[in-house]
Amino acid sequence: MIKRRVHVAAAAIFSSDGQEVLLARRPSIVDQGGLWEFPGGKLAPYETGFEALKRELHEELGITIKRAQPLIRVPHEYPDKHVLLDVWQVHEFEGEPYGREGQAVRWVGLDDLFNYAFPAANLPILRAVMLPPEYLISAEEEEDTRFLSRLERALGEDGVRLVQLRAKTLDESAYLERAEKSLALCRDYGARLLLNADPGLLDKVDAHGVHLTSERLMTLERRPVAQGKWLSASTHDRVQLEQATRIGCDFVTLSPLRTTPTHPEAAPLGWHDFQQLVEYAGMPVYALGGMTREDANRARAVGAQGIASIRCFWR
Ligand SMILES: Nc1nc2c([nH]c(=O)n2[C@H]2C[C@H](O)[C@@H](COP(=O)(O)OP(=O)(O)OP(=O)(O)O)O2)c(=O)[nH]1
Ligand SMILES: [Mg+2]
Please state the length of the chain.
315
pLDDT tens per residue, range 11-50? 999 999 999 999 999 988 888 889 999 999 999 999 999 9
User: In 201-269, which ranges are continuous DSSP H helix?
Assistant: 214-219, 238-246
Q: How confident is the model at residue 207 (pLDDT cuts 50, 70, 90)?
A: very high
CA 137-121-192 angle, 5° bins: 25
Taking the C-alpha atoms of residue 211 and residue 217, their distance in angstroms, rounded to an integer, is 9
Beta bridge partners of 307: 134, 287
Q: At what angle do helices 144-156 and 172-188 cross, to 10 degrees?
A: 30
pLDDT computed for residue 262 by the predictor = 77
141 is in an annotated binding site: no
Residue range(s) in the chain whose domain bears CATH number 3.90.79.10: 4-130
Residue range(s) in the chain whose domain bears CATH number 3.20.20.70: 134-309
116 CA to middle of ligand 1, Å? 17
pLDDT computed for residue 28 by the predictor = 83
Q: Does domain 4-130 have CATH number 3.90.79.10?
A: yes
51 is in an annotated binding site: no
43 CA to middle of ligand 1, Å? 10
| Non-local CB neighbours of 291 within 8 Å, separated by 6+ positions | 257, 258, 299, 307, 308, 309, 312
49 CA to middle of ligand 2, Å? 14
249 DSSP 8-state letter: -
Q: Is residue 285 a contact partner of residue 162, using CB atoms and an 8 Å limit?
A: no
**Nearest ligand (C-alpha, residue 82):** 1
166 is in an annotated binding site: no
Mean per-residue pLDDT for 158-169?
Answer: 96
User: In the chain, which ranges are continuous DSSP H helix?
Assistant: 49-61, 123-130, 144-156, 172-188, 214-219, 238-246, 270-281, 296-301
CA-36 nearest atom, ligand 1: 31
- For a substitution probing ligand 1, which of 3, 8, 60 has the most ligand atoms within 8 Å of its CB? 8
Q: How confident is the model at residue 235 (pLDDT cuts 50, 70, 90)?
A: very high
Mean pLDDT taken over the chain:
95
Q: Is residue 186 a contact partner of residue 135, using CB atoms and an 8 Å limit?
A: no
- Residue 79: half-sphere exposure toward Cβ, Cα within 13 Å: 2
For the chain, what percent of residues have pLDDT higher than 90?
Answer: 92
Taking the C-alpha atoms of residue 295 and residue 288, their distance in angstroms, rounded to an integer, is 10
Q: How confident is the model at residue 263 (pLDDT cuts 50, 70, 90)?
A: confident
- Its sign, for the CA torsion 287, 291, 296, 298, is negative
26 CA to middle of ligand 1, Å? 8
Which residues contact ligand 1 via a Cβ below 6 A?
A: 6, 8, 10, 30-32, 37-38, 40-42, 56, 83, 85, 119, 121-122
pLDDT tens per residue, range 71-106? 999 999 999 999 999 999 999 999 999 999 999 999
pLDDT computed for residue 266 by the predictor = 82
Which residue's alpha carbon is at the smallest distance from atom 29 of ligand 1?
A: 8
CA-40 nearest atom, ligand 1: 1
252 CA to middle of ligand 1, Å? 27
Mean per-residue pLDDT for 216-229?
Answer: 97
Rounded to 5 degrees, φ, ψ at 285 are -125, 130
30 CA to middle of ligand 1, Å? 9
- For a substitution probing ligand 1, which of 37, 122, 126 has the most ligand atoms within 8 Å of its CB? 37
pLDDT computed for residue 260 by the predictor = 82
240 DSSP 8-state letter: H
33 is in an annotated binding site: no
Which residue's alpha carbon is at the smallest distance from atom 15 of ligand 1?
A: 41
Taking the C-alpha atoms of residue 209 and residue 307, their distance in angstroms, rounded to an integer, is 19
pTM: predicted TM-score of the whole model, two decimal places: 0.94
50 DSSP 8-state letter: H
Mean per-residue pLDDT for 258-263?
Answer: 82
DSSP-derived 3-state class of residue 292: coil
39 is in an annotated binding site: yes
Residue 212 has pLDDT above 80, yes or no: yes
60 is in an annotated binding site: yes
Q: Does domain 134-309 have CATH number 3.10.20.30?
A: no
pLDDT computed for residue 46 by the predictor = 95
Q: How confident is the model at residue 289 (pLDDT cuts 50, 70, 90)?
A: very high
Taking the C-alpha atoms of residue 247 and residue 76, their distance in angstroms, rounded to an integer, is 17
